Amino acid sequence: MNTYTPPLRDMKFALFDVLQAERLYQRLGVEAAQRDVLDAVLEEAARFTAQVLAPLNAAGDEHGCGFDKSTGAVTSPPGFKEAYAQFVEGGWSGLTAPESMGGQGLPESVGGVLKEMIDAANLAWGNYPLLSHGATEALKQHGEDWQKDAFLKPIVEGRWTGTMCLTEPHCGSDLGLLKTRAEPSADGSFAISGTKIFITAGEHDFTDNIVHLVLARLPDAPAGTKGISLFIVPKMKVGKDGVMGGRNALACGSIEHKMGIHGSATCVMNFDGAQGWLIGQPNKGLNAMFTMMNSARLAVGIQGLGLIDRAYQNALRYARERLQMRALSGTKFPDKPADPIIVHPDVRRMLLTCKALGEGSRLLAYHAGTLLDMIEHSADAEERKAADELLGFLTPISKACLTEWAVECTYHALQVFGGHGYIREWGMEQLARDARITTIYEGTTGIQALDLLGRKILQLQGAGLRRFLGMIVDFCNAELKKEALSEFIAPLAQYTQDWQQLTLELGQKGAANPDEVGAAAYDYLFYSGYIALAYWWARAVATAEAGDHPAAFKAAKRETARFYFQRILPRIGTHAAAIRAGAGSLLGLAADDFDS
Ligand SMILES: Cc1cc2nc3c(=O)[nH]c(=O)nc-3n(C[C@H](O)[C@H](O)[C@H](O)COP(=O)(O)OP(=O)(O)OC[C@H]3O[C@@H](n4cnc5c(N)ncnc54)[C@H](O)[C@@H]3O)c2cc1C
């Protein structure tokens, strides 16, 4: 059976030891975040996700969601609705929302740990609260007071959920093409008409109301992305007094049948003059939606992290139990008919790849969470600006790398099971299928790469990169004299210099020919992601060695870091070669000649 046990020790090591979050929360004055409270919250989150959500994962995949064509109603898989009721009762829906809005005011970085547990336990179920969190962020930052009272509080309390309605049949990555219309009404609201597709949690049976955040065009809007506005369009109408009225003119037209996350409803949503309310400024909807998308991008990165860990845990257990052949260097378990497959170097390669990418990704993702905390709570404008620039730079890396590594690692973990990984019984093929969507929704890997190189590096002149390089240089300088760390610090310092050089070269090439940016973006993103992970692995070893941890824990960190530096980090060489090869070999073949 495929099970999940939240890795609380490594989660706390990442958050409290490496990232020093307890000290950060005190400095930022987040009073609710006392260590004893946080420990209790994480223990309870571990219990809820392992005991309530994880056992529903396979059944959710098997049953999927139901759709009633005559009513447009969507039913979630068995147990999902009841688990959501427990989630709400436990106060989890408002964990990180401000107390003034009915939440518990805990840091976003703690919310990230909860999220990892939810996604590892049951990715499909986790999509319902994920979209609510994004809607909370958009309403919190851009909503008028009455909108916050009417819509935000019920979402924070978990009574309603949120969605994000961007995609239309003819536009996904290119939102400038969207056609959904918004006509002003006499009462100050707007009539929204159009069709949105692929809407996660667009319809379900968890709650009485669903708050759709919809991108649409006003009648006089300019073409392209400059003419998009954002609207709140509830399933059940809601007055300015917050009172819920009758059914709004919108409905789910169908649900998609898809490769994975069967328990997550993916809906076609038809809006037929539905009452909506403008949120933020007219024609500035994309800015407001970006608040939601950035939150969702980090959240999808964490989905990747959760999947890596679950896949790894199950593969590790299997590799210790499955007996096949003897170790090449001689029998290791003479009392058994064969050695467990964990003795074989190739099985270890797969397990260690999952462990190295998973534990490193945890630091990358939790670090992003602490940056969100600084942006939200710091009284120092310079600190907020620095955190914002750094987070802008790390968001596409976190989203794309963690999800692509999840695809890689769920395949490795499946392979550890051999044929038993390919059949359904062990749940490994579900993890591999579920992982696949994470590299697509919330902006494909290709779009994240363009965001990183085109926007965050070239357009914004690498402000976030400079801050990240500064962190690495400070760390290397501080640890330089520690002999025990030299195997990590020396290459890290060298790769950091190479990264700067490569970025400079690309800046020059990209200015002369924009196709060079598009041609290099994917490789540049992974080049950056692998160096970022090298930094976090070096810091993990330094922190483990300096702390009061069991010898086995310290040894595991060092050996895994060694594996990462020696066998994964060299991938950057291939990426650098591809970047330096330039656009020529990508663009030489005429579109008509691809099938010649
Ligand atoms: C299960 C599921 C759930 C979803 N949930 C939601 C949701 O809740 N709300 C919502 O609004 N949407 C949702 N989506 C839609 C999702 O965000 C889009 O599918 C995704 O953004 C890609 O858009 P597309 O499918 O139209 O692909 P396209 O935009 O057509 O892209 C096709 C390919 O071309 C590449 N490409 C496109 N433009 C460029 C470029 N300029 N440079 C380089 N490469 C490019 C892409 O990377 C991709 O590989 C969901 C989709 C799925 C499948």
* 241-295: pLDDT as tens digits: 999 999 999 999 999 999 999 999 999 999 999 999 999 999 999 888 877 788 8
Catalytic residue among 442, 483, 487, 559: 442
> 486-512 vs 463-479: helix axis angle to the nearest 10?
160
Confidence of residue 131 (pLDDT cuts 50, 70, 90): confident
Of the candidates 267, 4, 257, 297, the residue with the CA atom closest to the CA atom of residue 122:
4
Measured in Å, residue 458 CA sits from the centre of ligand 1 at: 23
Residue 528 Cα to chain centre, angstroms: 17
- Cβ contacts of residue 341 below 8 Å, gap of 6+? 319, 322, 323, 324, 347, 416
The pTM of this model reads 0.98
Whether residue 444 has pLDDT greater than 80: yes
Ligand 1 atom closest to the Cα of residue 521 is 43
- Start-to-end CA distance of the chain, whole Å, equals 48
**Structure confidence at residue 438 (pLDDT):** 98
Q: Looking at the domain assignment, is residue 549 inside a domain? A: yes
Q: Determine which helix (DSSP H) or strand (DSSP E) holds 266, and give its type and residue range.
A: strand 266-279
Contacts 24+ apart (CB under 8 A), 96-104: 96/133, 97/136, 97/140, 97/156, 98/140, 99/32, 101/140, 101/148, 101/152, 101/153, 101/156, 102/153, 102/156, 102/157, 103/156, 104/32
Of 284-288, 325-329, 443-447, the least confident: 284-288
Q: Looking at the domain assignment, is residue 9 inside a domain? A: no
Give bridge partners of residue 213 from the DSSP assignment.
164, 232
As a whole number of angstroms, the distance between CA 401 and CA 399 comes to 6
Quick check: CB of 173 below 6 Å from ligand 1?
yes
CB-based burial of residue 50 (10 Å sphere; 0-12 exposed, 13-18 middle, 19+ buried)? Answer: middle
Q: Could you write out the DSSP letters of every residue in 545-570?
A: HHS---HHHHHHHHHHHHHIIIIITT
Q: Looking at the domain assignment, is residue 470 inside a domain? A: yes
Measured in Å, residue 287 CA sits from the centre of ligand 1 at: 19
Q: Indicate which residue's Cα is closest to atom 43 of ligand 1.
A: 446
As a whole number of angstroms, the distance between CA 361 and CA 306 comes to 10
What six digits make up the tokens of 289? 């939606």
Q: Of 441, 448, 517, 523, which is best to mutate to test ligand 1, by the most ligand atoms within 8 angstroms of its C-beta?
A: 441
Ligand 1 atom closest to the Cα of residue 442 is 17
Tens digit of pLDDT for each residue in 94-130?
999 999 889 999 999 999 999 999 999 999 999 999 9
8 A C-beta contact, residue 587 and residue 375: no
Q: Looking up tokens 């933020």, which residue turns up?
A: 280
Tens digit of pLDDT for each residue in 535-576?
999 999 999 999 999 999 999 999 999 999 999 999 999 999
Quick check: CB of 436 below 6 Å from ligand 1?
no
Q: Determine which helix (DSSP H) or strand (DSSP E) holds 584, and give its type and residue range.
A: helix 584-587
Measured in Å, residue 437 CA sits from the centre of ligand 1 at: 10
**Structure confidence at residue 44 (pLDDT):** 98
Classify 337 as helix, strand or coil.
coil
As a whole number of angstroms, the distance between CA 454 and CA 465 comes to 13
Please work out, in degrees rounded to the nearest 5, the angle formed at the alpha carbon of residue 544 by the alpha carbons of 540 and 546.
120
DSSP 50: I
Q: Looking at the domain assignment, is residue 368 inside a domain? A: no
Mean pLDDT computed over every residue of the chain: 96
Domain that holds residue 505: 455-586
- Cβ contacts of residue 27 below 8 Å, gap of 6+? none
> Is 442 annotated as catalytic?
yes
Q: Looking at the domain assignment, is residue 495 inside a domain? A: yes
The arithmetic mean of pLDDT across residues 365-379, rounded, is: 96
Confidence of residue 3 (pLDDT cuts 50, 70, 90): very high
Q: Looking up tokens 């990232």, which residue turns up?
A: 19
Tens digit of pLDDT for each residue in 483-497?
999 999 999 999 999
Give me the number of domains the chain comprises.
Answer: 1
Confidence of residue 199 (pLDDT cuts 50, 70, 90): very high
- Judging by DSSP bridges, how do beta strands 229-234 and 181-184 pair with one another? unpaired
8 A C-beta contact, residue 560 and residue 391: no
**Structure confidence at residue 55 (pLDDT):** 97
b/e sequence 508-525, b meaning 16+ C-beta within 10 Å: ebbeeeeebbbbbbbbbb
CB-based burial of residue 359 (10 Å sphere; 0-12 exposed, 13-18 middle, 19+ buried)? Answer: buried
**Structure confidence at residue 336 (pLDDT):** 97
Ligand 1 atom closest to the Cα of residue 440 is 20
Q: Looking at the domain assignment, is residue 521 inside a domain? A: yes
Inter-CA distances, 89 with 48, 82, 86, 95, 159, Å: 12, 11, 5, 12, 10
**Structure confidence at residue 287 (pLDDT):** 84
**Structure confidence at residue 290 (pLDDT):** 77
Classify 105 as helix, strand or coil.
coil
Whether residue 1 has pLDDT greater than 90: no
Q: Looking at the domain assignment, is residue 96 inside a domain? A: no
As a whole number of angstroms, the distance between CA 311 and CA 376 comes to 33
8 A C-beta contact, residue 319 and residue 342: yes
Count Cβ atoms below 10 Å from residue 574 Cβ, excluding itself: 12
What six digits make up the tokens of 188? 């100050």
DSSP 254: E
Q: Of 163, 447, 517, which is best to mutate to test ligand 1, by the most ligand atoms within 8 angstroms of its C-beta?
A: 447
Q: Indicate which residue's Cα is closest to atom 52 of ligand 1.
A: 198
**Structure confidence at residue 294 (pLDDT):** 81
**Structure confidence at residue 288 (pLDDT):** 82
**Structure confidence at residue 286 (pLDDT):** 86
Q: What is the 3-state secondary structure (H, E, C) of 433-445?
A: HHHHHHHCCCCCH
Q: Indicate which residue's Cα is closest to atom 26 of ligand 1.
A: 172
Inter-CA distances, 547 with 25, 213, 363, Å: 20, 46, 17
Q: Looking at the domain assignment, is residue 420 inside a domain? A: no
Quick check: CB of 522 below 6 Å from ligand 1?
no
Tens digit of pLDDT for each residue in 201-256?
999 999 999 999 999 999 999 999 999 999 999 999 999 999 999 999 999 999 99
Of the candidates 529, 516, 501, 530, the residue with the CA atom closest to the CA atom of residue 581:
516
Measured in Å, residue 177 CA sits from the centre of ligand 1 at: 13
Inter-CA distances, 305 with 37, 277, 362, 424, Å: 25, 36, 7, 22
Confidence of residue 135 (pLDDT cuts 50, 70, 90): confident
8 A C-beta contact, residue 565 and residue 360: no
